[in-house]
Structure 1
């Protein structure tokens, strides 16, 4: 006899269950607040995606230094070429 895993005991809601969840959300927040709730959720998701993309790009440049020049839009220096450090023009 095998014990079912917790993941198999909890499944995604199906058709009628989504309707019950939607009805509860409408009762809790009210119909007038739903557009604001959806807008806020969308903004949060966009910010989350942008931040995770930034972290992935940062990890790529740390793991692959050759990719740094590609992401910065510059060209790789030739072999043996002396390169001065890049200065940030926005630094105060």
Structure 2
């Protein structure tokens, strides 16, 4: 983002919220981002990790097709 765009956003925020509300708004946005980051980290950590040995065991235990012929 260019410096001019950033300056335009800051001026618009000052006009909309006033200088007294901006620190509170900044804190709220920071808290929201921090909580979102923690939640996504928790979701990623909750997923079970598949180890290579587990994958190999699953491949070995795969059902084998039965090619026996029925009596005629």
TM bin, normalised by shorter chain, reads 0.5 to 0.7
TM-score, length of structure 1 as denominator length: 0.51
Q: Deviations over 1:27-65 (max 9, x none)?
A: 001100001001101111111011000000011x2x337
Q: How far, CA to CA, are the matches of 2:34 and 2:26 in structure 1?
A: 12
> Which of 1 and 2 has greater Rg?
2
**Which of structure 1's runs of 4+ aligned residues deviate more than 4 A?**
none
Bigger relative CO (Cα 8 Å, ≥ 6 apart): 2
Count of aligned positions: 51
TM-score, length of structure 2 as denominator length: 0.64
Q: How far, CA to CA, are the matches of 2:2 and 2:36 in structure 1?
A: 27
Gaps of 5+ in 1: 1-12, 66-92
Q: How far, CA to CA, are the matches of 1:64 and 1:16 in structure 2?
A: 48
Q: How far, CA to CA, are the matches of 1:49 and 1:21 in structure 2?
A: 24
CA RMSD of aligned residues (A): 1.4
